[in-house]
Amino acid sequence: MPAPPMRIDLGDTVLRAYTVDDAAAVARSVGESLEHLRPWMAWADGDSADEAFQRTRLTGVVGQWERGDEYQYGLFDLDEARILGSFGLMTRRGRGTLEIGYWLHVDARGRGYATQATAALTNVALAVPRVTRALIYVDEANDASAEIPRRLGYTQFRTETVTPTAPGETGRQIVWLRETPIAFDEPEWSGPDTLTEGDR
């Protein structure tokens, strides 16, 4: 599978493939957002806010990109000094499918960043040869996260029962599906101006 682009310009932000040198910025962003992330992210703990831990983790992230297993991006402000969130394309759901995952810094909510970045990655995923489906998995209780695929015209494909791994999870995951690129003038696209404080 050809790799997606390492940099995606979104206008007022940029999605860029992580490097090991991003460890301090990732640790700082996670540490500032731990209470926001803990209910939904099993990895959100003190270790994840440690620069040395992130340096080791990002070494693995770079290797995953090189192998074509997973493509992890930081969402940066334009001078790339601050990480506003993290977004990924994962191959773990099988042939012809890329899964999109995301989290946002607590102070970046409500500005349309997550929806804009997810929209861009939806189109990137569906432009990869032989990829026909983009999927987003959201716990049934995570209404803020579910608003993103809903706004982008994804459909609820199915619900899966899994073992909860984070405190806020119910163990029922809604699988959101999109099989066509997003045209930003389509009726389903409500745009970032409509986002609320709950946007992750």
Domain ranges of the chain: 7-183
Section 136-152 average pLDDT: 95
Write the Ramachandran bin of 11: left for phi over 0, alpha for psi from -120 to 50, otherwise beta.
left
Number of helices and strands (H, E) in the chain?
Answer: 5, 8
Q: Are 152 and 181 in contact (CB under 8 A)?
A: no
| pLDDT tens digits, 154-173 | 999 999 999 999 999 999 99
Please check the confidence at residue 187 and state whether its pLDDT lies above 90: no
In CATH, what is the architecture of 7-183?
A: 3-Layer(aba) Sandwich (3.40)
pLDDT at 58 over 50: yes
By three-state DSSP, how is residue 108 classified? helix
Which run of H or of E encompasses 175? strand 172-178
Q: At residue 192, does pLDDT exceed 50?
A: no
pLDDT cut 90: percent of the chain above it? 84
Q: How confident is the model at residue 76 (pLDDT cuts 50, 70, 90)?
A: very high
- Tens of pLDDT, residue by residue over 145-156, are 999 999 999 999
CA dist., res. 34 & res. 36, Å (int): 5
Per-residue pLDDT band for 185 (boundaries 50, 70, 90) equals low
Q: How does the average pLDDT of the chain come out, rounded?
A: 90
